[in-house]
Amino acid sequence: MLAIATLAFTSCTKEGPAGPAGPAGDDGSFTTYTFTSAAADWAASTYVEYPVAIITQEVMDKGIAMVYVQDEYGYWNPCPSSWHPIAGYTYVYTAASGGVVGLDVSTAPTMDYQVRVVTMNEKTASSIPNIETLRYDQLMSELTSK
């Protein structure tokens, strides 16, 4: 099993549109959060955790969180990507300690990647066809058209 290196990442910023209520509400709201996964963060391991406060227990119980990684061409692809490996990123998330995204790669990245987390309620997610294959821009188009 891979060693877990938990890193406090202080340059995380909340970006993007947010609905009028919490991410697990029944009104179709959603929240986005963007942070940098720096190559230096991976020096000790191929698994790193980042705090993401928008992954709450309510999201864990009644919603969904999706992770996107920006590739070298500027596209925001779902993680894991159905298009290409994006440095082999996969993820897990938990509501422990205010929300954590744990990123796992087979080989430590050699460049910094931007990562975006989107939370929404399950009802909203189920209304979007093929949600798991959509790039971030496609998902935002679907969410803002509802």
Domains in the chain, number: 1
d(CA 108, CA 139): 28
The answer for residues whose C-beta is within 8 angstroms of residue 84's C-beta and 6 or more apart is: 71, 77
DSSP 25-77: SSS--EEEEEEEE-GGGGTT-SEEEEE-TT--HHHHHHEEEEEEEE-TTS-EE
Give percent of the chain above pLDDT 90. 18
**Segments forming the whole domain that contains residue 110:** 5-144
pLDDT in tens, 49-75: 899 988 888 888 888 888 988 888 888
Taking only the tens place, the pLDDT of each residue in 92-116 is 777 665 688 888 887 788 889 899 9
Cβ neighbour number for residue 34 with a 10 Å cutoff: 17
